[in-house]
Structure 1
Amino acid sequence: MQTDQEMPAGARRGITIFLCFLVAVLEGFDLQVIGVAAPQLTRELGLAPQEIGWAFGASLIGLAIGALAGGRLADKVGRKPVLVGSVVAFGAATLASSWAWDYHSLFVLRVLTGLGLGGTFPNVIAIASEVTARARVTITVASISCGLAVGGIIVSLMAKLAPGGMDWRGLFLIGGVLPLLVAPALWYFLTETKRAAVRGHGSRTPIGQALFGAQQAGPTLMLWIVFALTLLQLSLLLNWLPTLIIAKGFPPAQAFLTSLVLNIGSIFGSVIAGFLCDRYGARTPMAVGYLAMALVMYLLSLASDMNILLVLAFWAGFLVLGAQFALYGLAPKVYPDQTRGTGVGAAVAAGRVGAISGPLIAGQMIGAGATGDQVVLLMVPLALLAGVALLALAHMAGPRLRAGGAGVH
Structure 2
Amino acid sequence: MDTIKGYSGRVVTTLALCFAIAVFEGFDLQSMGVAAPRMRAEFGLDNAQMAWAFSAATLGTLPGALLGGRIADKIGRKKVLIFSILLFGIMSLLTAFANNYNLLIIIRFLTGLGMGGALPMMITLTSEAVSDQHKGTAVSIMYSGIPFGGMLTSFVAMALAGDSEWRHIFYIGGLAPILLIPLLLKYLPESKVYLAQHNKPSTPYWEVLFAKERRFSTLQLWVSFFCTLVVLYFLLNWLPLLMGAQGLNKTEANYVQIGYNIGGIFGSILMGMMLDKLKMSSVIKFIYVGILFSLCCLAISPTVALLALSAVGCGLFIVGGQSALYGLAAMFYPTAMRGTGVGAAVAIGRIGSFAGPLLAGLLLSFGSSSTMVIGSSIPIILIAAIAALLLVRRKNQTVTPVLKTSN
Fold equivalence (TM over 0.5): yes
CA distance in 2, matches of 1:228, 1:27: 19
Cα 1:407–1:228 change in 2 (3 A) is farther
The 1-side partners of 2:353 and 2:279 are apart by 26
Kept in 1, the 8 Å contact 2:160–2:166? The answer is no
The one-letter code sitting in structure 2 at the alignment partner of 1:65 is: P
Kept after mapping to 2: 8 A contact 1:129/1:141: yes
Once structures 1 and 2 are overlaid, which stretch shifts more, 287-296 or 30-39?
287-296
- Please, which of 269, 288, 296 is the counterpart of residue 286 of structure 2? 288
Matches within 5 A, 1:142-181: 142-162=140-160, 164=162, 167-181=165-179
Does 2:295 align with 1:297? yes
Q: Which residue of 2 aligns with 1:198?
A: 197
Distance 1:397-1:253 versus aligned 2 partners, 3 A rule: farther
Correspondence for 2:207 = 209
Q: Which residue does 1:361 correspond to in 2?
A: 359
- AA at the equivalent of 1:348: V
Q: CA deviation at 1:295?
A: 2.0
Counterpart contact for 1:218–1:396, Cα < 8 Å = no
- CA offsets per residue over residues 139-188 of structure 1, 9 Å max, x none? 11011100001100111001113455781111011111111100111111
Partner of 2:24: 26
**In 2 relative to 1, CA 109–397 (structure 1 residues): closer, same or farther, beyond 3 Å?**
farther
Call closer, same or farther: CA 1:281–1:408 in 2, change over 3 Å. farther
**Pairing 1:10-409 to 2, within 5 Å after superposition:** 10-162=8-160, 164=162, 167-193=165-191, 195-199=194-198, 201=200, 204-395=202-393, 399-401=397-399, 406=404, 408-409=406-407
Q: Are the counterparts in 2 of residues 287 and 388 from structure 1 also a CA contact under 8 Å?
A: no
Please tell me the residue identity of whatever aligns with 2:197.
V
Sort the Cα spacing of 1:398 and 1:34 in 2 relative to 1 into closer, same or farther, 3 A: farther
Partners of 1:398 and 1:66 lie apart in 2 by 35
Cα offset for 1:375?
Answer: 0.7
Structure 2 counterpart of 1:137, one-letter code: K
Contact 2:89 2:174 in 1 (8 A): yes
The one-character-per-residue Cα deviations of 1:4-48 (angstroms, maximum 9, x if unpaired) are xxxxx8222211110010000011011110011000001101111
Contact 1:295 1:380 in 2 (8 A): no
Mapped to 2, the partners of 1:198 and 1:391 lie a distance apart of: 32
CA contact (8 A) 2:38 2:163 kept: no
Query: How far does the alpha carbon of each residue in 1:62-104 deviate from its partner, in whole angstroms, 9 at most, with x for none?
Result: 0011011100000010000000000000000101111111211
Post-superposition CA distance 1:160-218 (Å, at most 9, x none): 1345578111101111111110011111111101534422646x321100100141111
SS in structure 2 opposite 1:167? helix
- Once the two structures are TM-superposed, the CA of residue 360 in structure 1 deviates from its matched residue by 0.6
Contact 2:194 2:335 in 1 (8 A): no
Further displaced range: 284-293 or 25-34: 284-293
Secondary structure of 1:101's aligned partner: coil
Contact 1:153 1:260 in 2 (8 A): yes
Separation of aligned partners in 2, 1:166 and 1:380: 36
Amino acid at match of 1:178: A
Corresponding residue for 1:6? none
| 1:231/1:355 contact within 8 Å kept | yes
Conserved in 2, the CA contact under 8 Å of 1:334 and 1:397? no
Distance 1:340 1:399 in 2: 20
Unmatched 5+ residue regions in structure 1?
1-8
For residue 407 of structure 1, report the CA deviation from its aligned partner.
Answer: 6.8
User: Take 1:406 and 1:44, find their aligned partners in 2: how far apart are those partners?
Assistant: 55
Does structure 2 retain, via aligned residues, the 8 Å contact 1:333–1:406? no
Tell me the residue number matched to 1:3: none
Larger CA deviation: 279-288 vs 61-70: 279-288
User: CA 1:71 to 1:180, structure 2 compared with 1: closer, same or farther past 3 Å?
Assistant: same
Residues of 1 paired with 2:148 and 2:195: CA distance? 34
Alpha-carbon distance, 1:397 to partner: 9.4
Q: How many Å separate the matches in 2 of 1:62 and 1:362?
A: 19
The answer to whether the 8 A contact 2:135-2:327 is kept is yes
Number of equivalences: 398
Q: Measure how far apart 1:408 and its partner are.
A: 3.6
Separation (CA, whole Å) in 2 of partners of 1:245 and 1:163:
19
- The CA RMSD measured in Å over matched residues stands at 1.7
Tell me, yes or no, if the aligned pair for 1:158 and 1:166 is still in contact at 8 Å.
Answer: no
- 1:4 corresponds to: none
Give the TM-score of the pair, scaled to structure 2. Answer: 0.94
Amino acid at match of 2:31: V
Q: CA deviation at 1:292?
A: 2.2
Gaps spanning 5+ residues in structure 2: where?
1-6
> What is the identity percentage for the equivalent residue pairs of Structure 1 and Structure 2?
38
- Residues 158, 302 of structure 1: alpha-carbon distance in 2 compared, 3 angstrom cutoff: same
1:159–1:185 Cα change, 3 Å: same
